[in-house]
A and B are shown apart, each in its own frame.
Chain A
Amino acid sequence: NAGVTQTPKFQVLKTGQSMTLQCAQDMNHEYMSWYRQDPGMGLRLIHYSVGAGITDQGEVPNGYNVSRSTTEDFPLRLLSAAPSQTSVYFCASSTQGLSKNEQFFGPGTRLTVL
């Protein structure tokens, strides 16, 4: 299993540009989520999904859109990038069972908005 994969690893955008951060998992996990991590801070939840076709907002959703058309993929879209969105973005997935709810995180995408 590749686990959780994220592309790209690094990205530089200009203010106002749009882009999509890709996240995929091959563990057949129902739950997927996006976090952002600013320097010296913990992770903050942006959006999450409990299954295909179902998404919801987290703590800091403004400026980001998500969709979940398949179990495997959960892309994060920045419609009009702003310098405040400079951050490291992590995708995570988890099974919905009655188990330990261990979340598996991807390696991150480092985004700089100029």
Chain B
Amino acid sequence: DAKTTQPTSMDCAEGRAANLPCNHSTISGNEYVYWYRQIHSQGPQYIIHGLKNNETNEMASLIITEDRKSSTLILPHATLRDTAVYYCIVKPGAGSYQLTFGKGTKLSVIP
């Protein structure tokens, strides 16, 4: 699976958009970008995933660059409950289930 690079930590003001970047320059054509988050001491939670088109769901938006070498997770209106470690994971799609977690980005939402 392709390797990902994320900043160690980020701060965001409550109510503002949180933009979390991820570099995955070695991504291959059949690999998806997945985002999970882990709120303190809990099990990770799926957020969103995409292949090459931008995606949006009730939790977040995912913007993937045209060359697919990087992506950005957007939380449109961050709340204190969004404080967590966010993991960007690249893996093949259907048929592959193993998630390779890096250290992620620690997002702190500030009141």
A residues apposed to B, CB below 8 Å: 4, 31, 33, 35, 40-45, 48, 50, 58-59, 88, 90, 92, 94, 96-108
Contacts and interface: CB of A to CB of B under 8 A. Distances in A.
Contacts of B98: 33, 45, 48, 58
Interface of B: 41-46, 49, 87, 93-104
Given A92-B43, A106-B43, A108-B43, A42 B97 contact: no
Contacts of A107: 42-43
Give 7 closest A-B pairs by Cβ, nearest first. Answer: A105-B43, A42-B101, A102-B46, A43-B101, A98-B94, A31-B97, A105-B44
A44 B99 CA distance: 8
A33 B49 contact: no
A96 B44 CA distance: 19
Nearest to A104: B46
A103 B42 contact: no
B101 A108 contact: no
B19 to A, nearest CB: 21
A103 B49 contact: no
Given A105-B45, A108-B43, A50 B101 contact: no
B84 to A, nearest CB: 13
Contacts of A105: 43-45
Given A44-B101, A50-B97, A103 B46 contact: yes
A45 B43 CA distance: 14
A48 B97 contact: yes
Contacts of A44: 101
Contacts of B96: 101
26 contacts: A33-B97, A35-B101, A40-B103, A42-B101, A42-B102, A42-B103, A43-B101, A45-B100, A48-B98, A59-B100, A90-B44, A94-B97, A97-B94, A100-B46, A100-B49, A101-B49, A101-B96, A101-B97, A102-B46, A102-B49, A103-B44, A103-B46, A103-B97, A104-B46, A105-B43, A105-B44
